[in-house]
Amino acid sequence: MVRIAGVRLPAWLISVGGLLLMWAVFAWFAQSRSLPSPLQVASAIVTEVRSGELFFHMGATLARVAAAFIVAMAIGSAIGILLGRSRKLNHFFDPWVIFFLNIPALVIIVLSYIWFGLNEVAAIGAVALNKIPNVIVTIREGAKSLEPQFAEMAKVFRFSKWQVMRHVVLPQLQPFFAAATRSGISLIWKIVLVVELLGRSNGVGFQIHLYFQLFDVATILAYTLVFVVVMLAVEYLLLQPLENYSRRWRAGHA
Amino acid sequence: MLDVNINSMSFRSSEGAALEVLRDLNFSCAQNSFTSIVGPSGCGKTTTLRCILGLETAFDGAIKTAGESDHLHKISAVFQEPRLLPWRTVEQNVRLALKAVDEAELNDLFAELGLTEHRDFYPTELSLGLARRAGIARAFAVKPSVLILDEPFVSLDDETASRLRKLLMQVWAARSCTALMVTHNLLEAIELSDRILFFSGSPSRVVSEYEIAVDRKNRNRRAIEQIREDIYATGAASPME
């Protein structure tokens, strides 16, 4: 809490307000179409909401983010656990992981469109493929550091493979899943925009491309801001409550 | 009945040097008896337990229970660190070890071990003494024919350890299985066991054994100390150990 002129305000409000104010001041001095003021951006948002365009394109982008995220997490986690548990496999496939980790996102997207056509599967596949190596690397670290004493306990008490995975392995990987999710969602939505810009006819990326050609910076910023707000909501309303729930057993130590 | 015959067991260091920890280790435990292993630190007591539990397989020899070669079938363990899954409650930890749950037996076990009120607690919310009790509950819940205990009372204060020993005895007496415990504490071994095996230093084997004739009910402090004197007198172990 910060006190300004006798009124107590939360620090984040001051921080965001300060940023908006700075933006407004710069825009006022610039008086240029290439730097619209916060009010102009707000009115662009209202226009896009009224026309229904915003929800339509936002929905398309969110659906792609969700699909690519699920595919990338599922495949990346499975490979990550496998490589983390087997020294031989890891030794063999490590160059592949490094190779894919270092291919530029743009190259994967372009090749994917060339090989598989300008369709939804190619788009989502390209985004997932960009993210999978990151998930592998994160989950692999977790799988390497599993506690052998729990695995031994599970062996002595004859846990089934499924029980070992569900009750022994996955809970130990939880912090690594959380890390992969965090970095994953922010990376994925940025790549989804590129995919849409290059080869889709809807979505936030498509709209930004459109308004770039019209040189309408206010609407470009309108889409960007709304999407960032949506991603913040996902973080605070979905990811953090989920993480708190999965960490509830640590309460005794807190 | 548990038969342990290990001709040799070695550990290999990362540089390839082999260190023999067990050699000609032969002993057997009678059905439903309580046997303790006492010996100098680092002599391979825990390694012996790990071989019996199937956690070490690179040894030359054989381990059998009641003549069955698949001795892991009905074996269970109380570990030194309780090894409860911290993200599962006490009750979930116990249930996970069970193939078929006998609800009445489970209730009895929790009650006998004073854990009824702690069933829904996470292990991090328990003291070490209570976590050990949960470990004991899990070990008995699977109705083992052989129970392995690796220093189950270490690093507890005397009073808690003594209470836990009594609880263990009650639960064990009511269920009866062949128990094998490793301990550093000779008095503890005397209080609980039918028989004590003394291990040599590495590579270790059984150097002597001592049968305790005194009935468990009559093993008060004085009786236990007397037995210890007798063990020293017979030369089964020396006071240095």
Most confident of the following: A28-37, A140-149, B70-79, B207-216:
A140-149
Tell me the two tokens of residue A143: 């799988």
Band (pLDDT 50/70/90 cuts) for residue B66 is: low
- Nearest Cα neighbor of B85 from A245, A157, A74 is A157
Nearest CA in chain A to B71: A156
Query: Which residue ranges make up each domain of chain B?
Result: 2-234
Residue burial A164-182, b: 16+ Cβ < 10 Å; e: rest: eeebbbbbbbeebbbbbbe
Structure tokens at A185: 């969602």
> What topology does CATH give the domain A37-253?
MetI-like fold (1.10.3720)
Q: Would you write out chain A's pLDDT as a tens digit for each of its 254 residues?
A: 677 777 788 888 888 899 999 999 999 998 888 899 999 999 999 999 999 999 999 999 999 999 999 999 999 999 999 999 999 999 999 999 999 999 999 999 999 999 999 999 999 999 999 999 999 999 999 999 999 999 999 999 999 999 999 999 999 999 999 999 988 888 898 899 999 999 899 999 999 999 999 999 999 999 999 988 998 898 889 888 888 888 888 765 43
**pLDDT computed for residue B71 by the predictor:** 56
pLDDT mean over B39-49: 86
- Using DSSP bridges, classify how beta strands B18-29 and B34-38 pair: parallel, antiparallel or unpaired: unpaired
| pLDDT, tens only, B147-197 | 999 999 988 888 899 999 999 999 999 988 999 999 989 999 999 999 999
% chain B with pLDDT above 70: 96
Question: B3: which 2 tokens?
Answer: 């038969």
**Closest Cβ–Cβ partner in A157, A171, A252 for B97:** A157
Probe site for chain B from A149, A157, A253 (most B CB atoms < 10 A):
A157
Option in A150, A156, A251 nearest B53 (CB) = A156
Interface test with B, best of A87, A156, A174 (most B CBs within 10 A): A156
- Residues of chain A found within 8 Å of residue B99, distances taken between Cβ atoms: 158
Question: B122 and A171 in contact by Cβ < 8 A?
Answer: no
Q: Do B85 and A152 touch (CB under 8 A)?
A: no
Q: Please give the CATH topology (third level) of the domain spanning B2-234.
A: Rossmann fold (3.40.50)
Both tokens assigned to A218: 């206010």
Residue A3 pLDDT:
75
SS3 label, residue A60: helix
CB contact under 8 A, B124 and A156: no
**ipTM value:** 0.88
The stretch B25-50 carries a mean pLDDT of 89
The domains of chain A are located at: 37-253
Nearest to A165 by CA among A183, A149, A179, A150: A150
Q: Which two tokens stand for residue B211?
A: 């049968």
Strand, helix or coil at B21? strand
Smallest CA–CA distance, residue B83 to chain A, in Å, is: 6
- For residue A34, the model assigns a pLDDT of 85
Q: What is the spatial distance between Cα A220 and Cα B18, in angstroms, rounded to a whole number?
A: 69
Residue in A153, A167, A171 closest to B83 by CB: A153
Q: Is B134 on the interface with A (CB under 8 A)?
A: no
- Using CA atoms, how far residue B130 sits from B32, B110, B119, in Å, is 26, 11, 11
Tell me what pLDDT residue A254 has: 39
Q: Indicate the residue of A156, A168, A252 with minimum beta-carbon distance to B125.
A: A252
B53 contacts chain A (CB < 8 A): yes
Structural contact between residues A64 and A123, judged by C-beta atoms closer than 8 angstroms = yes
> Which chain A residues are closer than 8 Å to B88 by Cβ?
167, 171, 249
Burial (Cβ within 10 Å: 0-12, 13-18, ≥19) of residue B144: buried
Q: How far is B95 from chain A (nearest CA, A)?
A: 11
CA distances to A163, A204, A237, B76, B192 from A233, rounded to whole Å, are: 34, 17, 5, 48, 60
Flag whether residue B76 sits within 8 Å of chain A, measured between CB atoms: yes
Q: What is the DSSP secondary structure assignment for residue B88, as one 8-state letter?
A: S
Hey, are the CB atoms on A155 and B55 less than 8 Å from each other?
yes
Contact of B127 with B159, CB cutoff 8 Å: no
Taking CA–CA distances from A250, the nearest residue in chain B reads B124
Spell out the long-range contacts of A116-123 with Cβ–Cβ below 8 A and sequence spacing 24 or more.
A118/A199, A118/A200, A120/A64, A120/A200, A122/A199, A123/A64, A123/A192, A123/A195, A123/A196, A123/A199, A123/A200
**Is B85 part of the contact surface with chain A (CB cutoff 8 Å)?**
yes
Contacts of A114 (CB under 8 A, 6+ apart): none
Q: What's the confidence (pLDDT) of residue B69?
A: 56
Paired sense of beta strands B34-38 and B178-183, if any: parallel
Q: What six digits make up the tokens of B64?
A: 């059998």
B70 touches A at CB < 8 Å: no
- Tell me the HSE value of B53 on the side-chain side, using a 13 A CA sphere: 27
